[in-house]
Amino acid sequence: MSNNADTTPSAPELNDAQRRAVEHRGSHLLVVAGPGSGKTRVLTQRIAHLIAGGEQASRILAVTFTNKAASEIKARLEKTIGEEAQWIWAGTFHSICAKILRYSAQDMGLDKSFQILDSDDSERVLITLLREKNAELDTKTARASARAIKEQISLMKNQFQDPALKQLSSEYPDIGRRYQERLAKMNAFDFDDLLVRTAQHLHTPEGARWVQKFDHVLVDEFQDTNTVQLKILEALKGTAYVCAVGDAAQGIYSWRGADNAIMQKFTELFAPAEVITLTENYRSTPEIVQVCQSILDQDPTAPFHITLETSNASGKAVVLCEFDDDRDESDYAVSKIKTGAMPPESYAILVRTIAQTRSFEERLLNAALPYVVVGGLRFYERAEIKDALAHLKAAVFPLDINALQRAASSPRRGIGPKTLETIAQNAIELGGLLVALTSYEGAKASQVHELGAYLSAVSKAALDSPAAALKLILSSGLRDAVSKSEDAEARLENLDELLAAAAEFETKNQDPEVTPTLAFLEHTSLYSSADDRQQGAVQLLTIHSAKGREFPVVFLPGLEEELLPHIRSLYDTAALDEELRLFYVGASRAEKELHLTYCRQRMLFGKTHPRSASRFLAPLKDLPPTTLQIVETPHRKSPWSQGHRAAPRAATSWSAPFKNPSPPVQARQSTTPALSQEQLPKNALVSHTSFGDGVVLATGTDTVTVKFADRSRILSIALAPLTLR
């Protein structure tokens, strides 16, 4: 290894800590990177330094949070090391695992033309399985139950557990096993299976070639790693040095199976290891950094607690406003945006729950300001796109029954559900949809044969290219059907964009292990628009969706008890800690301006409720006025109050909004004994102290799924404050 810093491109841009991280050799490495500390630069420069020192690009693996981040790293590297950057293995855990499984299909006894089901497709499979057991199940209940079961299955797989071995629902006790069996028949994997099967394979003798393939593995956002992802890294460490970059203070995905304690275990799991900390913030003004530090210091015992620094020029003080209600709160944000000097895409409104966007959307519309709800319906999830892809999947994948059902109804072909069920059963017995369609002899045979001939033609076209197949699909009735729908112009433009995307993908796909059409379908399943920023539009998104982003101006509304921290966290100290980290993540997205707001009362589920300031705001009171500006707002009685008295106006001393904040709740605070599993059968009527009245949808061993007025929730039977009504 060379220690000559001059071998690293653009090395003078690095500070001392970054340089040490870039040049480190000889052991595993943990880089604790604060927000805005240049971690992407460090990852890129480290790879360049490794290659400059003689390492082969093809033996370097970079695991990123999104595929877009991987592409960005490759693009940066191309500017410094040239075409060699294309040989680096870079992508998300899911995309990397999909590639490994394709290449290892023969060793694993798999058909390498396997299908990857996105979240919606997985849910549809579960709905089909539920209705096979209960044909009378209505659509709304089926969808809610399928979603709840899917969440349980996903969590188990992320914890490296087999859902087939556990009863997930009292009403459908074998649903986990049936789900996995159906995926196997379909030659399909869901997202979580990609990780599980890869982890299993890497720990077998046949998987040893993958363990030996890489010399260096670099992992971004390490604090968000779950158990099964850690299993993959543990296998690869056999011959490779692991460099993990993360920030324990930004661990906000426990609900997705992430283990925030993993960073603490790094030096034990990957010994010997060095730890390097990046504290210099290049993103934000000193005022924003100071506020972020004040949030961070509320949990001084947290692992890898750091002190942030910045050399950036001073800017505006962070603003804290208390408002009468959420109407005033949204008016304030929209007024600031409308009168601001920056373009709309410079402004981001980060919310704890997506429901909070409603009042902001109304006012942005009234103000004629363009906006986008990030994390809403992604391109490949739009109805017309799903329809077109369903035609392609039904033609390519032998047993994608859900795709066939969708293709047969868009446009409608006069084939009813019972006929499709018969075809689906025949397909399972005969080994494919196309043979089942062409050999069908029951009612509506002519329509079925016509559909079979059409899909056979699509299948042949797909052998050449996905674009050729999609041209046939669009010209065979789908475009005409879409042209007669609402918003026809926009939806037709989306179909044109799909065709263009397929054509563009063909020029880039160079994987010899998979056909262009299969590769394109894999791309559509793994694609995420979470990093896309729509130009010319104000960004509305949850704090979770904002992770990894930055914006010149950030509004953080709803900083109130039971919202941030969320009401679900009040019974769990660990969950409260994560809510604090969520606040920290939101505040640290801001580059130049940060606006913190809360309300004395808020409209929730059609009623006005009194609110109190978040406990997380109290420690900010000691910050100087040059850092935190407290803006007084007029007090008025809201016409929404419906008889409720508004909360007292905040005093300038801060005594009112922060007086006696509710302490963390260590355990269930209720004198009512917990209900048993037997007391919570399907359709039982229950009441929750916070969520109101609901009806039981399904009961598992430890959890119960309840449909409340706002949405369905999965609750702990032992902890949830539920009573029968």
**CB neighbours of 159 closer than 8 A, spacing ≥ 6?**
226, 227, 228, 257
* E strands, 345-467, in order: 347-351, 371-373
Long-range pairs for 327-330 at CB < 8 Å and ≥24 separation? 327/359, 327/603, 327/638, 327/640, 328/599, 328/633, 329/359, 329/557, 329/558, 329/597, 329/598, 329/599, 330/359, 330/360, 330/362, 330/363, 330/557
Please indicate whether residue 167 is annotated as part of the active site.
no
Indicate the helix (H) or strand (E) that contains 246.
strand 241-246
Pairing label, strands 538-542, 347-351:
parallel
Q: Which of 7, 40, 267, 277 is catalytic?
A: 40
Enumerate the β-bridge partners of residue 598: 322
CB 528 within 8 A of CB 477: no
Residue 178 phi/psi, 5° resolution? Answer: -65, -35
Q: Which of 118, 121, 123, 221 is catalytic?
A: 221
CB 462 within 8 A of CB 517: yes
What is the distance between the alpha carbons of residues 87 and 301, in angstroms, rounded to a whole number? 42
Q: Which of 225, 250, 290, 357 is catalytic?
A: 250
Please indicate whether residue 713 is annotated as part of the active site.
no
What is the distance between the alpha carbons of residues 233 and 230, in angstroms, rounded to a whole number? 5
Please indicate whether residue 193 is annotated as part of the active site.
no
Please indicate whether residue 157 is annotated as part of the active site.
no
Query: Whose structure tokens read 């791309």?
Result: 523
How are strands ordered across the β-sheet holding 722-724?
712-716, 703-708, 692-699, 685-688, 722-724
Please indicate whether residue 220 is annotated as part of the active site.
yes
Please indicate whether residue 64 is annotated as part of the active site.
no
For the four alpha carbons of 117, 120, 122 and 128, in that order, the dihedral sign comes to: negative
Q: Which of 589, 592, 611, 615 is catalytic?
A: 589
Q: Which of 23, 192, 220, 224 is catalytic?
A: 220
What is the distance between the alpha carbons of residues 714 and 720, in angstroms, rounded to a whole number? 10
Q: Which of 19, 39, 231, 707 is catalytic?
A: 39
Determine whether 170 is exposed, middle or buried from the number of CB atoms within 10 Å of its CB (0-12, 13-18, 19+): middle
Q: Which of 355, 304, 353, 363 is nearest to 333 (CA)?
A: 363
Q: Which of 255, 248, 256, 238 is nearest to 277 (CA)?
A: 248
Assigned token pair, 445 = 């045979």
The full length of the chain comes to 725
Query: Whose structure tokens read 């499709």?
Result: 420
**Which residues are annotated as catalytic?**
39-40, 220-221, 250, 589
